[in-house]
Chain A
Amino acid sequence: MLVLVLGLGFFHAASLLTYTATLNSELSAQDNVRLAERLVAIRNALKAAPSIERETLAHQMSGGPVDAHWGQRALAVETPADSSAKAPLKKLMTSLVPELTRERLLVGTSPPLPNGAIDPHLTMVSVGLGDGTWANVSVVNSGHLHGSTTSIAMATTLMAIGVMVATWLLVRWSTQPLGALANAAQHFSGSALSPSLSETGPNEVREAAIAFNGMQRRIRSLIQDRALSLAAISHDLKTPLARLRFRIEDLSDQDLKQSIADDIGEMEEMINGTIAFLRGEASPEEPRPLQLRAILENICFDHADRGHAVSLSGSGKGVLHGQSSDLKRAFSNLIQNALKYGDIARVSITDAPGRVEVVIEDDGPGIPSEQLIAVFTPFYRVDQSRGRETGGVGLGLTVAYRVVTAHEGTIKLTNLTPRGLRVVVTLPLAPTVQAAHSS
């Protein structure tokens, strides 16, 4: 947009400048020729006329910028400053009537006024008629005659501004739907929450919007199909696991029983994690105002009760609009990760204007900086060789990322020095509840 305005402006200024420059030189050249012809005509007419009629004739031949008189004296004063500027006119006239060089020709200004000033707008030409009398012709300077070039500049500039404003409005009107399209594409999450685009605007944009809405529908149905088939699979997997739980009840070897129970627990966790991932953002839960702090307290206390090193600090309440079970899973995953890789989880919650910030820190090895983004991809595992066997399927961060972005929040990982990982989650606070609090 800016490029367009700048380009147009530059182009306009440049063309206007060249135009006025050529126009001016053209006009002055033209004027000089015409003026020379006219002056010569006046001279010829006066020369031919009897002395008595000369003054009347001179008057008759005046008009426009030209005012002619007949007199006994030459009135024009040639000054050195003038000579160069007025030389072309003089030269033209002598080329028309060569004998003018003999009959005297003065091209200059009118005589100085009593106060010594010279009218700069007037050119005075005195032409000798060969009998000692003179034709004195005052000419209003041509520069001031077509001083209208400035008004031409004004008019065209106004026009250019008009064109620019119209173009800007037009461009904006035609690109606005594109912006909406980009916005919708960026926020499309596959859930029913993503609204369809309005199918308006210029033809091409409307077609793009229709195509986009169609794509949105197809993706949504794909996601739904996937969730449905997954529900079937999960049912099929969970029933045998439930059977296993009952079967090991009869085992007399308590160690074996416990290790099988642990394995079943791990499998269950993997199934649940996969389901949470595949369910994606198509969560069936209605979003509602909730307090994030209470959720974090429950997760932290639960882990603390199991003997893990978890602490919760900060005074933030984090009242936001969201899906409780999804947020529980997201923060559970993050805190579990901290405990799994860093043996400790320091959790803090802080309310900021319009948002809540949750920071989770551990003392683990962190994540190689080049993998800090990649860890969010599904089934991604940080370099096996450096980590110990920690279980899981590599969906914890993926699910956390999904849940946080579905709540229009952000999640960021940074390595701490000398060691440890910091996870910063920012979520928008519920605006209505905020208002209710402040009123």
Chain B
Amino acid sequence: MMQKSQQNSSVVPGDTGATQVLVVDDDRSLQQLVAKFLRSNGYQVLTAQDGREMHEYLRRARVDLIVLDVMLPGASGIQLLRELRKNSAVPIVMLTAQGHETDRILGLELGADDYLSKPFNPRELLARIRSVLRRTSASGTGANSGGARHVTFEGWRVDTLRRELSNPDGVSIDLSTSEYDLLQAFLNAPQRVLTREQLLDAARNRIATGFDRSIDVQVSRLRRKIDGDGDGTDDTTSRIKTIRGQGYMFMPEVIKT
């Protein structure tokens, strides 16, 4: 039932017309299925089979977001992405059949805003598109061209592109999707109280996990990781303080580079 209410609010706030999405995929059946699904969720959809058709649409029409398949005849999706990013900040969600971590990172480093592996869930595609549009409309540009690549706090380092956290020894600390989203929310508003609702909203940017626990559980898991020792319940020494009756506050100073 929640899905239904989300579908009704698919138009990005502040946008006058319906959002126009360009789907670039050489598999015509999948291309049409994606188009149909997005249309049924309130988007206007254009479809292209390759780079040539894509460029044609970009000249002729307003495109708010591109869903771009990596494997295309002629110029690959990666090549097209590289070309596009030279002079355009249009939000791009990449689709791939490879699905290995390094492919994802390559796509993100080249400036894609998000990355989905086939066979992806239609609702997941929808959630990612919404999330990217929300982020980019907030910053006015493509998400990746906006925020800082690296964020540090007390020797810890966050790579916002790879969504990776390293401790002061340079040891990578694996974060779950919702833990990362929470941390990002904290890093964007250090030393400010964030309510549970705000945090919940941040952690719901993606629906990949689908089994989100309460915010308090998520926060205690994040604490466990960024406080080093302890079990995530000791509030006095934690980098994330509980503000009674209000929410949580991220204590360290945050430096964006």
Contact = CB atoms under 8 A, between A and B. Distances in A.
B63 interface: no
A433 B169 contact: yes
Contact of B167 (A231, A239, A291, A306): A291
Interface stretch (B53-61, B92-100, B247-255): B92-100
B119 A244 contact: yes
B169 A231 contact: no
B99 A272 contact: yes
Nearest to B37: A246
B61 to A, nearest CB: 24
Interface of B: 27, 29-30, 33-34, 36-37, 71, 97-102, 117-122, 167, 169-176, 179, 209, 211-213, 221, 224-225
A249 B102 contact: no
B239 to A, nearest CB: 16
A298 B175 contact: yes
B12 to A, nearest CB: 22
Interface of A: 231, 234-235, 238-239, 241-247, 249, 264, 268, 272, 275, 279, 284-285, 288-291, 294-295, 297-298, 301-302, 305-306, 319, 324-325, 328, 430, 433, 436-437
A43 to B, nearest CB: 101
A294 B225 CA distance: 7
Contacts of A275: 99
A242 B169 contact: no
A11 to B, nearest CB: 59
Contacts of B98: 231, 234-235
Contact of B169 (A249, A294, A436): A436
A-B residue pairs, 6 tightest by C-beta: A241-B119, A246-B33, A242-B119, A235-B97, A238-B118, A290-B172
Contact of A305 (B120, B169, B175, B211): B211
B33 A291 contact: no
B174 A305 contact: no
Given A297-B224, A306-B211, A290 B171 contact: yes
A437 B170 CA distance: 11
B174 A294 contact: yes
A235 B99 CA distance: 10
Given A234-B98, A245-B120, 5 more contacts: A238-B117, A290-B171, A294-B175, A298-B176, A305-B212
Given A249-B37, A305-B211, A324 B169 contact: no
Given A297-B225, A298-B176, A239 B100 contact: no
A297 B119 contact: no
A404 to B, nearest CB: 17
B62 to A, nearest CB: 25
Nearest to B70: A235
B88 to A, nearest CB: 26
B30 A319 contact: no
Contact of B173 (A243, A264, A294, A437): A294
Contacts of B27: 239, 243
Contacts of A298: 174-176, 179
B172 A289 contact: yes
Contact of A268 (B33, B34, B119, B211): B119
Contacts of A244: 119
A238 B118 CA distance: 6
A430 B37 CA distance: 48
A284 B100 contact: yes
A146 B3 CA distance: 111
27 contacts: A231-B98, A234-B97, A235-B118, A238-B99, A239-B118, A239-B119, A242-B120, A244-B119, A245-B120, A245-B122, A249-B122, A272-B99, A284-B100, A285-B100, A290-B172, A290-B174, A295-B174, A297-B221, A301-B176, A302-B176, A302-B211, A319-B171, A324-B172, A325-B101, A328-B174, A430-B171, A433-B169
A243 B29 contact: yes
B94 to A, nearest CB: 14
A365 to B, nearest CB: 28
Given A297-B224, A306-B211, A239 B175 contact: no
Contacts of A297: 174, 221, 224-225
Contacts of B176: 298, 301-302
A295 B179 CA distance: 12
Contacts of A437: 169
A235 B71 contact: yes
Instruction: Output the residue of A241, A285, A291 with the most chain B CB within 10 A.
Output: A291
Given A290-B171, A291-B174, A297-B225, A242 B118 contact: yes
Contacts of A328: 174
Instruction: Output the residue of A242, A295, A305, A437 with the most chain B CB within 10 A.
Output: A242
Contacts of B121: 245
A301 B176 CA distance: 9
A305 B178 CA distance: 12
B171 A285 contact: no
B171 A246 contact: no
Contacts of B101: 285, 324-325
Instruction: Output the residue of B99, B102, B119, B179 with the most chain A CB within 10 A.
Output: B119
